[in-house]
Structure 1
């Protein structure tokens, strides 16, 4: 080549900067008006389409499902608090049939049913 090449504009152009497989930044020039090169998403048509249906939330993370799980959690916590505050049922309440007859079904704590 007998004539000098003008590479100053290419060297001064912004670089892509996307992380490559080896962990370094991509050194390819970014496309005009974009932040990435043609290989990392700067090309026309790259990226998600408008109104991406793949980004729709499925049932587990909808706001209704999250609110329902919160409600169930508070109901369970309230029930546990109530049970902790109640006295032990076996100490205070006795079965009247058991005290009358004194008979229980073998292998159980319940009275014999007749």
Structure 2
């Protein structure tokens, strides 16, 4: 039987990227401990806790896109119309 050349107390020089990666910051409700999986590069969560995705696609690429009334482009216009309606209703009450 040959003697093993691996010393478990000595740190290996070729540590994999996963071991050096930042850890996921997701916290368990049950135990209170954080997830110990490697986080996605540039994010603070792992692939299992939503680090990979960036949400639903914008506009027509999203399957639920219907008419575009409440899109980001129209939010400013909708707010302006609502403000005008408030002013008009206030003016109508004074008369």
| TM range, smaller chain | 0.3 to 0.5
Greater RCO (CA < 8 Å, at least 6 residues apart): 2
Q: TM-score, normalised by structure 2?
A: 0.48
Q: TM-score, normalised by structure 1?
A: 0.42
Pair member with larger Rg: 1
